[in-house]
Amino acid sequence: MRVLLIGSGGREHALAWRLADSPLCTALYCAPGNPGIEQVAELVPIAVDDLAKIESFVRQQKIELVVIGPEDPLAMGLTDRLQKGGVKVFGPNRAAAQIEADKWFAKEIMRNQSIPTAEARSFTQVEQAEEYVRFRNEPLVIKAAGLAKGKGVTLCYRTEDALEAIDRVMRQQEFGAAGARVVIEELMQGPECSILAFVSGRSIYTMESAQDHKPIDDGDTGPMTGGMGAYSPTPVVTDSITSQIERDILVPTIDGMVREGIDYRGVLYAGLMLTSSGPRVLEFNCRFGDPETQPLMMRFKGDLMRIMLAVVDGTLDQIQIPWDPRPCLSVVATSKGYPGKYPKGLEITGLDEADAMTDVKVFHSGTRRDGKRILTDGGRVLSVTALGDTIASAQKRAYEAMKKIHFDGMHYRHDIGHQAVR
């Protein structure tokens, strides 16, 4: 089959790497892709939000399966448009993508289905939001309700911090239209984890657990980012907790979607906090997580394309997925200044040396090619991902590989996986 992958990040590089291994894949294209993806797929210079050009390319090249990586084209309805033309698409339709694109929609689903999550209120008027946080006068989480590239969440331990966050989101419009509505939640306590599941209608296959690190600096300090690293599996998610998550969160969520008349087909990502009263939902995403996808795809041992087709065709219940039992850890390198303003066009060296290490893979995120040189082209530039017999050995190998790579201002955390190692 001829396949088109949409996206250009580390998540898409990991997916392309696995899709290219499938004997079912006769041709693999990626729009727009990156220099890492170029090693396994033909790049197409089309932006992820240029739906008309994507449709045209799919028709001209007789693409038989489209895999959509990022959330924006899903929320814009790319799946719906392609399906009308008879094309198989891995990725939920526009109605299903609301689970990420509209955080208040997700809260309503959870409320209707009695899914454990944080108490929350939503506001479209900045004065009402400020009045509410003054009344609560306790630690809160301020979220832009729309899509904000994983950066629209602020943990506020003081009332003045919450007021400042509301001002940035609603008055200064730091996240654009995503901040037209703000969601204010209680601040929950406990270890976090990421649970991803393939979903096909009413069928669910839960993948191996993972845990990511959102804050920019060591010790989980500094501004929130799209993700500074991840590892899989996480020891905090036991078999009994997995069963509880499936029973109390995943199944009722999909049931709630069905009750709304929504046929969900793709990946459902649940960001969870394991509180003293059990797992509670922090957020839902309608696609693979980044950087969780990188360690998951390193441990994945099945035929990814066959599984994606099973999701699309409604035969997911017939699929079994083998996993490498070894842990895997991924460390993200960012440009200086991220998640704020950052420079681009800086040369990256040492990529081949790091990639040549045993059980190590360097996934490109924000890179571009300039002749034979690879340059930085984003905030999150790359992720070094390594397998090991233990989390500690995977961590050691990932950092040994990272030390071989250099670009001016390169920043990365030195403690990814510290909870699991401890």
Residue at 234: amino acid letter: T
Strands (E), 72-228: 88-90, 120-123, 140-144, 153-156, 182-186, 192-200, 203-206, 211-212, 215-217, 221-224
Beta pairing partners, 212:
230
Task: Please identify which residue in the block is written with the tokens 């290219």.
Answer: 20
Task: Report residue 422's pLDDT band, with 50, 70 and 90 as the boundaries.
Answer: confident
Distance CA 111, CA 101 (A): 17
Instruction: Give, for 104, the enclosing helix (H) or strand (E).
Output: helix 103-112
CA angle 62, 64, 68 (to 5 degrees): 115
* pLDDT at residue 354 in the model: 98
pLDDT score, position 153: 87
Give the mean model confidence (pLDDT) for residues 12-23: 98
Contact 232, 238 (CB under 8 A): no
Residue 63's pLDDT band, with cuts at 50, 70 and 90, is very high
Question: Which tokens in the block code for residue 217?
Answer: 């600096």
**Mean pLDDT, residues 57-63 taken together:** 97
Model confidence at 147, pLDDT cuts 50, 70, 90, reads confident
Q: For tokens 């210079």, what's the residue?
A: 45
pLDDT of residue 152: 83
pLDDT, tens digit (0-9, with 9 covering 90-100), for 261-313: 999 999 999 999 999 999 999 999 999 999 999 999 999 999 999 999 999 99
pLDDT at 146 over 90: no
For residue 149, the model assigns a pLDDT of: 73
In whole angstroms, how far apart are CA 363 and each of 11, 60, 69, 396?
Answer: 8, 30, 15, 18
The enclosing H or E element of 364 equals strand 360-364
Distance set, CA 215 to CA 80, 179, 376 (Å): 35, 20, 21
Structural domains in the chain, CATH included, are: 2-93 (3.40.50.20), 119-186 (3.30.1490.20), 192-318 (3.30.470.20), 328-421 (3.90.600.10)
Between 143 and 22, the higher pLDDT residue: 22
Long-range contacts of 116-119 (CB under 8 A, 24+ apart): 116/248, 116/249, 116/277, 116/278, 116/279, 116/280, 116/281, 117/280, 117/281, 117/282, 118/185, 118/186, 118/187, 118/188, 118/280, 118/281, 118/282, 119/185, 119/186
pLDDT of residue 224: 86
160 CB-near residues (< 8 Å, 6+ apart): none
Tens-place pLDDT, residues 153-200:
889 999 999 999 999 999 999 999 888 999 999 999 999 999 999 999
Q: Which of 147-151, 172-176, 231-235 has the highest mean pLDDT?
A: 231-235
Provide the β-strand partners of residue 89: 66
Contact 395, 388 (CB under 8 A): yes
Calpha distance 117→186 (Å, rounded)? 10
* Half-sphere exposure of residue 283: CA atoms within 13 angstroms, side-chain side: 27
Strand order through the sheet with 182-186: 120-123, 182-186, 140-144, 153-156
Structure tokens given for 140: 């809160």
Nearest CA-CA partner of 72 in 53, 52, 91, 56: 91
pLDDT tens digits for range 207-216: 999 999 999 9
The DSSP bridge partners found for residue 194 are 210, 271
Residue that the structure tokens 């959509």 belong to = 68
pLDDT digits 0-9 by tens, 336-365: 999 999 999 999 999 999 999 999 999 999
Specify the pTM.
0.92
pLDDT for residue 419 is more than 90: no
Compute and round to an integer the Cα radius of gyration of the chain. Answer: 20
Reported as a single tens digit per residue, the pLDDT across 364-409 is: 999 999 999 999 999 999 999 999 999 999 999 999 999 999 999 9
Q: What is the pLDDT of residue 103?
A: 87
Type of residue found at 413: R
Rounded to an integer, what distance in angstroms lies between the CA atom of residue 335 and that of residue 88? 37
Contact between 122 and 184 under an 8 Å Cβ cutoff? The reply is: yes
Q: Identify which of 7, 159, 162, 135 has the alpha carbon closest to the alpha carbon of residue 74.
A: 7
| SS3 of residue 128 by DSSP | helix
Q: How confident is the model at residue 29 (pLDDT cuts 50, 70, 90)?
A: very high
Contact 180, 102 (CB under 8 A): no
**Are 11 and 36 in contact, with CB atoms under 8 Å apart?**
no
Give the mean model confidence (pLDDT) for residues 221-237. 94
- For 88-140, what is each residue's pLDDT tens digit? 999 999 999 999 999 889 999 999 999 999 888 999 999 999 999 999 999 99
